[in-house]
Chains A and B, each alone.
Chain A
Amino acid sequence: MKKLMLMLTLGLLTITSAFAQTRQLTGRVTDLKGVAVANASVVVKGTKIGANTGDDGSFKITVPTTAKTLVVKSINYSDAEVSIGTKTNFTIQLESSSQQLEEVVVVGYGTQKRSNVTASISKVDMTKIENKPFASLDQMLQGAAPGLQATSSTGQPGAVTPIRIRGVGSFSYGGARPLYIVDGAQINDGDVSNGNGGGFSVNPSTNVLATINSDDIESVNILKDAAATSIYGSRGANGVIVITTKSGRAGKTQFRFDTEVGQNTPILPPAQGYPVDVNDYFQLYKEGLANSGVSAATAAATLASYGYGNGVAIDWFHLITKPGAQKQYNISASGGDAKTKFFASAGYFFQDGTSLKADFQRVTGNLKVTHNVNDKLSFTTKVSAGSTLQNSILASDGPGGSGLYFGNPAYVSYVLRPTQNPYNPDGTLNISSDNLGFPGHYNPLYIAQNDKRWLKGLNAIANQNVEYKILPGLKFSTTINMQYTLNEEYQFNNPFHGDNSGASGEGVSIVTRAFLTDLINQLDYHYDFNKAKRFYADFKLGQEAIKSATYRQIGDVTGFPPRTDLYYSTNAATSTNGKSVGSDYTFQGYFTNATVSLLDKYTLYGSFRRDGSSRFGVNNPWGNFWSVGTSWNVLAEPFMQNNKTISAFKIHASYGTNGNAEIGNYTWRPSYAFGYNYNGVAGGTFNNIGNESLTWEKNNQADIGTNISFFDNRINLNVDVYKRNTEGALLNQNLSRTTGFTGYINNVGSMQNSGLEISVNLVPIKVKDFSWEINASYTANKNKVTRLPSGDQLNGAYLLRVGQPFYSFYTRGYAGVNINTGDPMWYIDSTQIGSTSVKTKANLFLVGKQADPKYYGSLGNTFNYKAFTFAFDFYYNFGNYFNESAQQYAMDGQYPTRGKYAINLTRWQKPGDITTVPKWLNADGRTGSTGSDRTLYKGDYVRLRNIQLSYKYNNKAVLDKFHINGINIYARGTNIFTKTYADIILSDPEQGITGNNGQQVLPSKSVTFGLSVNF
């Protein structure tokens, strides 16, 4: 009977709902100033019936007549409830969840209201960087935040763009990079390519970040000071970049389609650095032979053997560079209901490099689902994968590398002679080894056509988060993040021409797999001391465990059949190398922090973390890191209440420590290793002294800053000053070589970065149809070494000296060309008074030039007129120098058989000539082009990074007809214009963090057209 009743009731209910009457409600959601709030969810209370507002804040919703109340929710705003009554059209105003500085900011292991943040954090405006024609996020971050320096060293698509936050804070190149956090978990970032396969790097660099589609990123926050980073303890010393991927929003499923297509062209070197043509080339050659006293007959024979007058005139630069296609397509869907939300996307990106044989493509897929099981339990699952294919030229041997490979087209395009003909008379490619062929540097066209150098990568991230609200205010969550990275690198050198052609070609295969697991357990507790919620405390207690396991297989073969099309290893005769190796690391940490906030005015923050790592010595694996921070929201004070000028005013200050563990996985261990084989039998040796007391490098940072806004936020100013001291820095401590070792790693260095960061946002004009917005940032950083274990220490092209910047060039001072004799001159010593024409009599000294910029930043303007937006952004960089470490091959007469820079035409010819290029001598033994600051060029520049005109189609009637919410079309120029400030400059001024021209793929500028549709 009961059962029957139940069925009846259920049936009745069904019928009721089937016949239920509905009606349509429309309306618009705005903030208190009447500005539209897009993407707010409007839901009938107690049901799943709802809709999201469009870009103009409007919504349309069909509700049952029984519906009584609408609930409107949007991020950054307080929820609103509106009773429906008989109205069908609503204007709903939402109150900001906080009056000023209302933004929510991502902080360590959570979020915080902007007004109460005690730390220095820059939020990157994703709308400004999305869809840009860059393969990876790190490239996009150039100029995106004060205190963040991103400097590429190559135009190779998909390569790493190294980032430094608040200066170089560690002695090792890899150690100075920031930590990347994606959706709360640490990831393996940066270059995970092999770096070295059988003598050559297979790929210039493989960027994990380039496997992530930036269109899937919701926000990027740059954590800079100790209060922000200390909770990451062991690895946060050089800043943290926190990436949060997009989540679904409840309501009708929203689709978005983005595409941008266009063309990349190389940024060619300045005129002085372009190779000379055939006439100039032989003019120099002839002059050199005559000046060197070579007999006329010998000179004529020499010139003839190099093709003088043979009619061949090749512009190698023209041949090895090319315009390339640029395209990307992204589609995403976002939707769900109150219980389950999802975001799904797919993307395709292709970038053609500007040198022969350099390109990059990526396919990505991404799904994030959030499900609330009930009020207490919810979980979020994210799975994303990116697969990449990178083809590259042979150019890289690390950040300080010279790229001087015979098969590197970027390099040989300088040094091949204009009379070396790439083609035979019959049109085939010329690979003869006579003087007019390619006896040394290879024919880059043949190499590009027949050699292979690729990397196929897969980066997959699975992130599982479970959250349980134990009590109001008390929450437990577990995140487990798994990152799987697989790289297949392959290099084929053909058996006819080029490297290893003598061994009938070579095939190098390297497979690297990295598996990173990050487990985080966390308790969050929020406690309100009073009912008004104006006095509260947040506590966090957490535990984290990280394990990374890398496995690599290497195979090297020679002896290919005489073909170029069967390039896989299996076709070759001899296997010369076949090995595998693994390398693992672990981290384990416990962390806690607390925030106490009173009246949204005074906030106090403290954090503590204890971390252990397998990377540190058995005696000292654990480190403690802590920070304190405070903020004062001045505007909330009574004395500010009557002021009309200032619309936001906050001061924050912090101090704390964090650590750095970026060293080799087993570096601390004294070790005896094998592979020192002899006659094909295993040999071994004591190969690493190690340091059983090795421990964390520590970074102590003090920061004070303010955010202040005027005139209703028409002027916004953020200023931060900081000083960070790296103590116990991981540095190679030199040993007397008589020990059999050159040194060992120890906590012996100290370094300091101090700086000023300013960012300004101005809205000079804001009228009905027109607005003008200016965004500018300025960062000045001063770096100096403050402690070294035993005095000055050579560090490649630099010298480490206490009180001097880390990247201080150490070389001779070039004193120019003797006006009477045409000889190159050098200063005898650092006084730069006396000079000598005998190079070895000149001392090396710190020439007062550094590789890191003294200041840099960005300046952007955005103009909106009705549906049109016009924007342009400049990036500027001043105060640094870069090293043309290979210029000697194309400068002066030392290597007469190689192509030359046009600057050589200004050589000294007669007494009285004032120039930097000495009298042209054949096989010049004065070596004036190398070993002095003549190779250092001023790296100052201003670049028009982005210029963009977009149009937002907003004819609602037409859009509605096609069920489209919005269309945006635009044209964009990237890197269109660069201004440099050096009297002489031979190449693009952006040459990596270490300031070294490594003869890489030329950087590119692009013109692209984009379309973005929401439906």
Chain B
Amino acid sequence: MKRITIKNMIVTTVLFLSLASCEKSFLELKPPTSLTPEFALATEADLQVALRGAYAGLKSTALYGRSLMVLGDIMADNTYQSVLNTNRYTAFNLYNYTVTDGDVSGLWTASYTVILRANNIINSPIADNANIKQIKGEAYAIRALAYYNLVRYFASPYTVDPSKLGVPIVTTYQADLKPERAKIADVYSLINKDLNQAYSLMTVFTNSSQFSKYAAKALQAKVYLTMGDKTNAKAAALDVITNSGFTAISAAAHTGYWAGVAPRTDKVETLLEISFDAVANNAFDALSYIYLQSGNYGDMLCSTDLYNLFETADIRKSLYASGTRGGLASVFVNKYSSFTGDHSDTKVIRMSEMYLIAAEASYPSNTVDALKYVNEVTSRRGATAIASDGQALLEDIITERRKELAFEGERYLDMQRLQRNIVRSKNYPSAALSVDFTNFRRIMPIPQGELDANPNIKSQQNPGWF
């Protein structure tokens, strides 16, 4: 009996173990939607895919998807929040945003995400050829753009003191990085280095939704102007105007230009835009959604003083419409007209701005040029030509910039670079009608999430923030 028991036990155990034994691969499941990173950037085609991923990063709602464009105007005097609103960007309308603000951390985080994507392309060891050079050139320009936005929002203007703290410089991926802030001057020197690289590497113009040689140069013109380096700004802008083959949009084509939704291949006006199409768009968080009225949020309205700047014959005035919202007379913004199907793209750099940069950079050294270039813009808009001189000329150029680039995220950055107080029209909340240049909220705080995760930056918060 005992023998049988043992035999039975053995049989059972063997049976059991044979059932139990599983192949090792049972626990090894490969994800269906992703690759291991080291296998992902092995070929030229992979780099091309990665480059699109980097551009896709710029589409984030926190960047060119919406925030960069809205913040650049609401933090100044162009757009204000209607009393009837969906509570987006309220704290910027009121100028009471805090260190935990989601739009602030979004701008910071999304910018560094783009930088990571650009870094991975730039640092790829794949052997150079013309295509690789073009891809890397675009990546350099994308990285420069991301740093340029960061340093303008999170640091004091270069024109105040370039030795102040800028933003951390990261050029290679490292997971445990806890960098300190670099000096503003160092950030700008990286930007210029990248843009020089981009300029020399790129040979191809695909369309307006991707960087090209002259889009990089145009960006550099902006960068120099931001640095107060008028000589280089003018030279870069003129390089684009003279050599790029791009032309500025005429008055006749103006309306159609803004209604257009597809990236351009005709080298008209748009040096760079971030493209949103019928599939890959930000849906309810799209830029157009926050401006357009019927069927949209329509929270953001055009300030009265900006609207009043446009002469009746100015073709740009047709981008705005008068109406009532929240029981109050309002001016609606129709610059981004498409929110269904193929969505409106976000303009990053336009030819008209090159003329404006050339004009501003010519002042005060060469007011003839200044007048010439600024009127390249007024003449194409049906506006009265500018004929002023002295300080008034500069003011007219700045105003022309405001009119031309309104709702393109430039106004606040101009006010920063020019170190000006912001005086807002009565449309804004009474507590936030004037925002002096010295107001600490004119510079965004290092976001709380960064402070928490990076002890080295904790003591480097911008003045005024706690």
Contacts and interface: CB of A to CB of B under 8 A. Distances in A.
A543 B170 contact: no
B52 A677 contact: yes
A545 B23 CA distance: 11
B127 interface: no
Contacts of A743: 453
A925 B175 contact: no
Given A671-B37, A673-B34, A923 B27 contact: no
B211 to A, nearest CB: 12
A81 B331 CA distance: 95
A669 B275 contact: no
A430 B109 CA distance: 43
Interface in A548-607: 558, 574, 576-577, 581-586, 588, 590
A125 B85 CA distance: 52
B334 to A, nearest CB: 14
A737 B49 contact: no
Contacts of A736: 168, 177-179, 450, 453-454, 457
B278 A678 contact: no
Interface in A680-694: 680-689
A672 B35 contact: yes
A198 B448 CA distance: 31
A671 B179 contact: no
A614 B26 CA distance: 8
B97 to A, nearest CB: 8
Contacts of A558: 340-341
A666 B277 contact: no
B40 interface: yes
Interface in A786-837: 790-794
Contacts of A499: 284
Interface in B286-311: 294-296
Contact of A739 (B170, B280, B431): B170
Interface stretch (A207-215, A471-479, A980-988): A471-479
A301 B327 contact: yes
A839 interface: yes
Contacts of B432: 925
B90 interface: yes
B28 A614 contact: yes
A521 B36 contact: no
Contact of A683 (B56, B96, B100, B452): B56
A672 B278 contact: no
Interface stretch (B111-119, B227-235, B363-371, B376-384): B111-119
Given A737-B108, A738-B112, A685 B454 contact: no
Nearest to B119: A740
A686 B112 contact: no
Contacts of B20: 521, 543, 590
Contacts of A678: 52-53, 55-56, 59, 209, 275, 280
Contacts of A844: 100
B328 A302 contact: yes
Interface residues of A, number: 98
A577 B96 CA distance: 39
Contacts of B430: 925
A689 B283 contact: no
B452 A734 contact: yes
A470 B12 contact: yes
Contacts of B8: 470-471, 474
Contact of A574 (B94, B278, B296): B278
Contact of A502 (B96, B176, B340): B340
Contact of B109 (A501, A742, A794, A843): A742
Given A586-B27, A735-B175, A740 B96 contact: no
> Max chain A CB contacts within 10 Å: which of B19, B37, B119, B328?
B37
Chain A interface SS verdict (over half): mixed
Interface in B142-185: 168, 170, 173-179
Interface string B6-31: 00110011011001101000111101
Nearest to A675: B33
A687 B16 contact: no
Interface string B63-101: 000000000000000000001111100100010101010
A970 to B, nearest CB: 49
B260 interface: no
B212 interface: no
A79 B40 CA distance: 69
B36 A574 contact: no
A765 to B, nearest CB: 55
Given A665-B31, A736-B454, A896-B83, A679 B275 contact: yes
Interface string A420-459: 0000000000000101000110000000000000000000
B109 A680 contact: no
A670 B36 contact: yes
Nearest to A686: B37
A523 B35 contact: no
A290 interface: no
A792 B108 CA distance: 20
B35 A740 contact: no
Interface in A474-519: 474, 476, 478, 499-504
Contacts of B19: 478, 521, 543
Given A470-B12, A521-B20, A676-B56, A574 B175 contact: no
A621 interface: yes
Contacts of A574: 278, 341
A305 interface: yes
A790 B178 CA distance: 12
Contacts of B270: none
A541 interface: yes
Nearest to B289: A502
Contacts of B94: 925, 927
Contact of A199 (B15, B27, B277, B283): B283
Contacts of B275: 678-679
A711 interface: no
A671 B38 CA distance: 9
Contacts of A734: 449, 452-453
B340 A927 contact: no
A922 B82 CA distance: 12
Contacts of B37: 670-672, 686
A439 B83 CA distance: 14
B40 A686 contact: yes
A576 to B, nearest CB: 5
A401 B24 CA distance: 41
A669 B36 CA distance: 7
Contacts of B125: none
Given A301-B327, A470-B8, A503-B340, A614 B27 contact: yes
Contacts of A673: 33-35
A742 B449 contact: yes
A862 interface: no
A612 interface: yes
Contacts of A689: 175
A840 interface: yes
Contact of B120 (A198, A547, A686, A922): A686
A925 B431 contact: yes
Given A523-B12, A584-B29, A680-B277, A897 B83 contact: yes
Interface in A357-414: none
B449 A582 contact: no
Name, among B90, B173, B280, the residue most crowded by chain A CB atoms within 10 Å (CB to CB): B280
Contacts of B295: 433, 501-502
B449 A794 contact: yes
Contact of A471 (B5, B96, B294): B5
A674 B98 CA distance: 34
6 contacts: A576-B278, A671-B31, A672-B37, A685-B50, A742-B449, A895-B83
The 6 nearest A-B residue pairs measured at CB: A740-B116, A683-B52, A302-B327, A672-B40, A671-B34, A543-B20
Given A674-B34, A686-B116, A739-B173, 9 more contacts: A306-B327, A435-B327, A440-B84, A545-B22, A681-B52, A683-B55, A686-B40, A686-B117, A737-B112
